[in-house]
Structure 1
C-alpha cells in the first residue's frame, strides 16, 4: 500500500502561537490535569478495580508497601524495609511508625497497621465483592483454595491465606508454588494496598440487596486515605479536585497544594485550555505536533515511551454474525490481517514526527524486563523473528486467498463486515477508527472485508462488549509488576482481555488455547534463573504471535506535548500505577522549552545510580 500519510484524514491546521502567550502564567502549586469526557472514574475501590480511569485517581489517594523512584527502582513506601528467606518463598515487610488513615475531611480515623494488609486479601478473595483482582493473589499460598472454598459456599478460615500480621508493624507473605524474586514489585499494585477492617465493617447501605462490602469505594466518603492527596470534590464528568494530605508520611515530596482535573471533549481541545493557562500541560495530537515541529516550535517536548502495548484484538464470539466468528477462528484469516496491517501508518496519527519509535513488535514492551546478563526480554531467541517489519502485503495477500478458499468451502459469505466501535465525540478516536478502516480495506480489499464504524456514548464494555456487537477492538495492558507473568496472564484462556468463558463481561477476544495456558504455567514454575524464566515466557508469547491471535501495534507514551512540568521529577515507572502519581512532580510558572527539558534529562541521567 502506498503511504498516504495523514492526507486522507486530516486538514492542515496551524496553531497560532502554540505554546502559550508570554502573558500567560501558570501556578506551580496548583496543578491542573484533564481527562476525556465520559472517562471519569467509576469507583475508588482499589481492591476490585483494574480500570486505568479509576487507578489514575486511586494512585494519588493511596499508598502501598513500596513505590518506585525517579529511575523505576522499587523503594520503600509504607514499608520502611523488607527481607526474604533464601529461596524467596517467604517475604517479611516492616511498616513505618506513625502511619495514619484519614477520612475525606482530612481527619485522622485510625492508625494504619499490618492487619490492614491481611484484610485486603480477605476482601479481594471474597466472591461477594466481585473483585477483578483475584488472579493477582494466586502467587500467595492458600489464596486460590480460600477463594474457591468461599465460592462453594463454605466458610474457610482466613488464616489459610499466606499473609500474616506478625505484630502491628510486621507483615509476612508466603508464596505459593515456589519462590518469587520479583515480589516487592507486585506489592506496588493497588490490589495489595491496605484496607481498614473496622472502616469497612462500619459501612451501611440503605438498600438491603446491597452488601456493605459493595459500598466501599463507591464515593469519596466511603474510602479512607493514606496517600499524598485526598479527593475533596467530584462532579461527574465535569471536574474533580485533590487536596494535599496534611497527615501524609512523606509530605516533603508532595509539591502541589491541589490537583484539579477537568473533563474535556477530546485531546485536540486541550491545547486551547493550555494557551489560556487553564491546564498545566497539553498533548499535541494528530498533525498539530508535525506542524509545530516543521515551524520550529521550541516548546515541543517528547515524552518517554511506557510499557503498555496496544494491540488489535479479534472477537471470535461476535453475536451479529456467525460468518465473522468462523473467520476469526481461522488462522489464515487472522494472519491476513496481521500481515496486512500497516502499523506505522496507523501510528502517524499518534506521533507523526517519528512513528517508528512507537512501533510494537510484541505484546510485552521493550525496556523494562532484563535477564541477569542485561538482555532485553523482547530480544530473546523466541521473539527475535518478530523484531523485523511485520507489515508484509505479499504475505497478507497469500493468507487472504487461503482463508477465502477454506472459508467459502465452509459456506462463509464474503465480504465480511467487521464492526469497530469508538467513543462518540472523541475526534482522536474517530480519526484512529477511520485510519484502521482505510488500512484494512485498502490493503485487503473490500471484496474480502469491510470495516463498519460505530460509536458508543460512554462505555465500550456495556454498549459493545456485553452485546457482542463488534469484531475488532484495540486493547492493551499496563503491567502491574516487572515480570512477564503479569503481562501475559491477561491473555490466558480465562484472562481479562482474552476470556473464552465470561464472554459478556471479560475480554475483547475469546479464544481458548490450552497450549498457551500450559506454556505460561511451565514458565511461571521456573524461579532459579531469570534468563530461563523469561525465555520460557518468550516462547509462550511467540506462540500467540505465530498463530496471529493478536496484532501488536504501538506502545504508550512517546508523544509530543506542551508542558509546564519537569518530566524527570516524577517516578519513572513502566509498571504498576506509580506512573499516575503526582507525588514528586515539579511544575513551573512558564512553558518548558525543549532545551530546558533536555537540561532536566541530563541532570536526571547524571544522577542515575550505577547499575
Structure 2
C-alpha cells in the first residue's frame, strides 16, 4: 500500500470503475470489488515545494503532543516476550491512535455489489502482500457468473480450503453449469497509468498491481491461502530462528519484453534486488529495517559495504537471509515486492549502479522507465502499453510454470471514472470481465434485469481507507502545480484552522460528526452503506491471541484467553480511557464480533460534546470559535466524478450540522483524478499536503502482524502514513 498505499479513488473506482485503497487490491474474493488506484505521472508547472523553516523540529513537537501516548504504548510491544503479548500490547497502542483523532477509519475494500466472469477465490485472497494482484490462475468464463453460483462456489471453497482441490472443482462446476472457460481476462481496475516499471523503487499500488504480474518471488500464496513454492522450491530455518535458507529451482529464466532470454534466475538476483531496493528508497525499505541484519545501517549510510547486509547468495541456487532477531511473520512477507529479484547484469545494462553510485537521474539511467527496460521472470511480459487506454500482458513462453497458468492474455482496460455507468456497460458487453456496481450502475442493472441474476456482494478485505486531519498545513494549492486545487482561505483562516486542528477534542468532534453511512451511501447505496464500513485501522479480527495473556489496562491487570480477538483489546482500552468510540462490536458479524459493518464513530451528540470542550480549551489559548467565526476546513475532491462530488457534499453537510455551524467545510474542486491525487496522496512529505481533511488513500497490510499497520505512524519519517497528517 507503500504498496501499500492505496488510493480511495480506487475504492471509489470501485464505484466509478469499480475495481479501489492499496492494494493491492481487489476484494477478498475477486478482482472486481473496491480497489485502489494511484495518481498519474504528470507534473505541474510551478516550483517545487520547500520545507518550512524548523519543519523537522515542529514535526517532532507535534508528534510528541498528538501521538506521544500511541508511541509510548507501541514501543512496549517491542518488549513483549511472546507473539500473543505483542498483539495485545499493539492493540493497546492502536486504541491510543484511534483516540488521538488524527485519522478516521472509513471503509475496507469490498462490501459493494459486483458482477463478474471470474470464479471466486481463484487467485490469492490473503490479507497482505502483492499476491492478490497475480491473476495467472484466475478461472474466467465467457458468461457472467450467476449470483447463486457465486454463493455455491464460496461455500465449496470454505469446505475445500487447504486441500489444494478447489481450483479444479471450480472449473468442473462451472462447466457442468453450462459456462465456457476462457484463457483471457479483461481486468477493469485501471484508472491511472503506472508511474514506473521498477518494482523495487515504488511504494505505489498503481505500480505494484501491474508489475507483480511480470516476476515471481520466492513463495506465493494460492487461492486457498496456502504459501506455495515459486522461484524457491524449499527452505529451512535455523534452530535459533535467525537464518532462512532458500533453495531455488533450476531452469527459471529472465527474458526481455520480446521474450528473448537474458539470463538464468539465480540467488544473486535476490541480493541485487534487495540492494537496489535499499538504494532506491522508494518507500518500502522500512519493511526490512530491524528485520534483516544491517538493513537499517545500510539504508542510513552507517554501513556502505552491502556484503555486511544479511542477504547472501551461498551459490547460484542457494539464498540465505540473516535476521537480527527471530521474526515469526518473515515468510508472510516474501510475496511483497521488497523481496523481488532483479537481474544484476540487465540492470547495469540500463545504466543502473549500486550503493553511493546509484543515480536514477543520470542521463544513461533507463531502468524501469518503461516496460521495455525491465527483465521478466514471471508469467507475463507486457506486449502493449498505451497510456490511459490499455495494458496488455501476454503469457511468457519461457516461464518456468507456463503449462499451469489459466490466463494467457491479461488486458487492463482504462476507465477515468467520469462516466458512472461505463464500467457496468463494459462488463455487460464483455469489454471487461467484471465490475463493482455503484449507485448508478445498480439502477441500470435493475432496469435491464441483470441485478437479480448476477449481482452479489463482494467480500471485504484488510485494506483500510481512512480520512486524515492535517495538523500542520503548509500548502494551499497543489505542490506540483500551484494553479490546481487552490484554497480560498486567508492567512488568518489558515492560522485559525491549524491551531484548531492541533486540539484533540476538535479533531474528535469532526471524526464523530461525519455521518459515514450517508457518505458511503453515495458510492454503494443505502442498503450496503455499512457493509464495508470500518471502525479501526487494523481490522479487529486480523489476529487472535494464541495463548492466554495478561496486560495492564490503565493500572488494572486484565487477562485475555487464547482466541481473543485483537479488536476486543483495542475496545477495552478505549472504554477504559472514556472515549466514545466503538472500534469493536462483539455482537457484529452475527455475534462473531467485528470492527466492520456498523458505525462506531458517528454520533452528533458526542461530536458536539467534544466540540464544546475544544471551544473552551481553544478560547483559553486565545482562539475564538463561534457562529460568526467558524473554522474553515478544506476538503479537495475530484469534481469530474459524480460519485466523488456527491460524497464530498455529504461530508460537508454532516460535519457542518454536527458542529452546529462552528466549522465551515470548503469543497475545493480538483478537475480530475490526477489533480486530486496530487493534493496529497501522491506527495512525499507532510508539508506538501494540500488539505485540512483528506479522504483519498488507505493502507493494506504487508504481513500478518498488526505492526504492518501501526508502523505507518512511527515518527521521524519512519512511518509511511504520518505525512498524511502534515508532519515528517
Unmatched runs of 5 consecutive residues or more in structure 2: 1-15, 17-114, 118-141, 145-178, 353-358, 477-493, 548-561, 576-582, 586-599
Could you tell me whether the CA contact under 8 Å between 1:293 and 1:300 is conserved in 2?
no
* 2:300 counterpart residue number: 148
Is 1:411 aligned to residue 623 of structure 2? Answer: yes
Q: Is residue 272–residue 342 contact of structure 2 (8 Å, CA) maintained in 1?
A: yes
Contact 1:200/1:213 (<8 A) preserved: no
Q: Alpha-carbon deviations, 1:64-100, whole Å to 9, x = none?
A: 1111122223222111111112332211111112111
The 1-side partners of 2:670 and 2:300 are apart by 39
Contact 1:268 1:428 in 2 (8 A): no
How many Å separate the matches in 1 of 2:360 and 2:203?
A: 25
Q: Which residue of 2 aligns with 1:498?
A: 721
Quick one: which of 439, 452, 457 aligns to 1:297? 452
Residue 53 (structure 2) aligns with: none
Judged with a 3 Å threshold, the aligned counterparts in structure 2 of structure 1 residues 174 and 498 are, in CA distance, closer, same or farther, namely same
Q: Which residue of 2 aligns with 1:434?
A: 649
Q: Is the 8 A contact 2:655 2:663 kept in 1?
A: no
2:627 is the counterpart of 1:446? no
Q: Is the 8 A contact 1:19 1:275 kept in 2?
A: no
Do 2:198 and 2:374's aligned partners in 1 also have CA atoms closer than 8 Å?
Answer: yes
Indicate how the Cα distance of structure 1 residues 196 and 28 shifts in structure 2: closer, same or farther if over 3 A, else same. Answer: same
Q: Against the structure 1 CA distance between its residues 497 and 166, is the aligned structure 2 distance closer, same or farther, given a 3 Å change threshold? A: closer
Structure 1 unmatched runs, 5+: 1-9, 11-17, 500-506, 513-611
Partner of 1:198: 345
Structure 1 residues 210 and 469: alpha-carbon distance in aligned structure 2, compared to 1, 3 A threshold: closer
Q: How far off its partner does 1:292 sit? A: 4.8
**Which residue is equivalent to 2:488?**
none
1:472 aligns with 2:687: no
**Residues 429 and 42 (structure 1), Cα distance of their counterparts in 2 relative to 1, 3 Å cut:** same
Q: Tell me if 1:398 matches 2:609.
A: yes
Give the direction of change, closer, same or farther, for the CA distance of 1:66–1:297 in structure 2 (3 Å limit).
same
Answering whether residue 670 of structure 2 is matched by residue 455 of structure 1, we say: yes
- Alignment match of 1:216 (pick from 364, 367, 372): 367
Aligned residue for 2:188?
34
Name the residue aligned to 2:462. 307
Which SS does the other structure have where 2:272 is aligned? helix
1: CA distance, partners of 2:316 / 2:350: 24
CA RMSD across the alignment: 2.9
Give deviations 1:95-137, integer Å, cap 9, x for gaps.
11211111101111100110111111211222xx342222122
Could you tell which deviates more after superposition, 390-399 or 434-443? 434-443
For 1:250 and 1:375, how far apart are their aligned partners in 2? Answer: 39
1:228-280 CA-partner distances (Å, limit 9, x unpaired)? 11111111111111101111122233212211112113153111112222111
**3-state SS of paired residue (1:233):** strand
Determine if the alignment matches structure 1 residue 342 to structure 2 residue 342: no
2-structure distance, mates of 1:212, 1:121: 24
For residues 463 and 390 of structure 1, what CA distance do their matches in structure 2 show? 26
Deviation at 1:40, TM superposition (A): 1.4
Q: Helix, strand or coil for the counterpart of 1:33?
A: strand
- Cα deviation for residue 461 of structure 1 reads 5.0
- Bigger drift between 259-268 and 371-380 goes to 371-380
- Per the alignment, residue 421 of structure 1 pairs with 636
Indicate the SS of the match to 1:200: helix
Matched, 1:125 2:278: yes
Do the aligned residues in 1 keep the contact of 2:424 with 2:441 (CA within 8 Å)?
A: no
**Alpha-carbon distance in 1 for matches of 2:143, 2:312:** 58
8 Å CA contact 2:351, 2:367 repeated in 1: no
Distance of 1:79 and 1:86 partners within structure 2: 20
Summarize the Cα distance change of 1:264–1:114 in structure 2 as closer, same or farther, 3 Å threshold.
same
Indicate if the aligned counterparts of 1:265 and 1:425 stay in contact, CA closer than 8 A: no
Counterparts of 1:168 and 1:73 in 2: how far apart (Å)?
27
1:250 matches 2:404: no
Name the TM-score, length of structure 2 as normaliser.
0.61
What is the CA-CA distance between 1:291 and the residue it aligns to? 7.2
Contact 2:636 2:670 (8 Å CA) reproduced? yes
Of 331, 335, 343, which residue of structure 2 is paired with 1:188?
Answer: 335
CA displacement, residues 363-392 of structure 1 (integer Å, 9 cap, x when unaligned):
012444333257364334233452142222
Question: Paired residue for 2:247?
Answer: 94
Change beyond 3 A, Cα 1:412–1:124: farther
CA distance in structure 2 between the aligned counterparts of 1:23 and 1:89, rounded to whole angstroms: 50
